[in-house]
Structure 1
């Protein structure tokens, strides 16, 4: 018969329900890291760590396999170059928007104002640099291996062959080129326009001279009537002052290249390797300085609807040269 010493703690005589002996913080940490009595490391024995490690290895392995199978099944139903939903069935729709470059600085992302001092090179440096960056991909098309043969020099008599895309030669945009500082130093700046890309969209051209829209500028109508019929398969572009006062101050405008728009042989866009959207440069030759000029440019085709509020088929920006 064992007689308990009333002065001896219960834990010392093997009572599992007794209060454990007090330990210092250092002893507690050392015991947690490794307990020599039980052989536990970080609260678990080697066999316990092995079991829980094996469980999580199997669990996450099965989870990763299920995710991989789901992704594999998803990509079997998706073409990386052809969208599932196109034209009327897509969120983009069938009416392209018109964009302009250069854009204002990032801190004025909501602005559409091109404003600079024509006598201060440092002041208009942003606009030139923005255009240089935008046109860089047009200056070095086909630099990736295998793309050179994919790019063709197209014309109205020489459309691209199947699998080819048409080159956009920005060297033909003089005086709207980098070597000429895009004419910003002469207070007669150039602004570049391009249509948004819509997969599979085919323009319906205004190529019948007796069916040109009433709202189309008369100068553009005269140009369309003066060119050969084969060159009329073009998405025409016009730019003018938005209001009567703007039309007085905007001065003469040149559309470059001289075909006055986006040639039809660039369409439809089908996400072909190396495709670049065609460009048009708008050269404001003698805009009045010191006055804010509202500019509106439009793209003309039978299936392009113009809407200022929805920014469809046209683009608005302001020009001010001090």
Structure 2
């Protein structure tokens, strides 16, 4: 707990209304003491239990469910509104089993394919913010890639038949610098693949990415963005929701609170100005107890 003589940060907001400021600061200080590998293991164990609870709930509601019904209900619960009902039905029929796979393991499966094909990438989105901030559930994995059209066929050959993916959608995504989806037919996990854009911030974010040890025995690596770039990208996404996505905002606060004075303030401020995010960043810093940034 905080020392009685130590004043609480002015403007600080907790991640949950039922958590006191001093208790939350204490929890974040505990998490700061963990290595990235330890944070990854904690997230894997926590998320695996969520998946098991989800399956258990379905089995309780439908005790005589076939594997097709189980897969169908699991897809509806985890993929949510990402696909029409007919797609859920098709996914349910593709395998005779359901493999529970957490987002880190799914990311490692995909990135191993990308690395073999020499396709440059980094894992961003909620997986990255979880590893550098607050643990929370995530509906999928976001991977940013520098994918050229000539790599499409070998990529599809490496992904299929395990992963559902549309070749036309991949080619359209490359042309328009947008994204396409992968669905793992074994775990029903969803992966969003974002094509690297040509504008300055995505380019510098890609240049700054780092290969990080995330699991040991055996050692496994993932290429991840820096905490500063996670914050900036999450603020961009928050703004696209007209400042309404509390999930994105909470992710920003989580990374700020965990990383604290380890962040490159000059870099954050520079790109906040470039991206017209200065006001949002300042508010986020105040709510994270980092008023000295400004």
- TM-score normalized by the length of structure 1: 0.22
Q: Which structure's residues are more often helix, by fraction?
A: 2
Bigger Rg, which one = 1
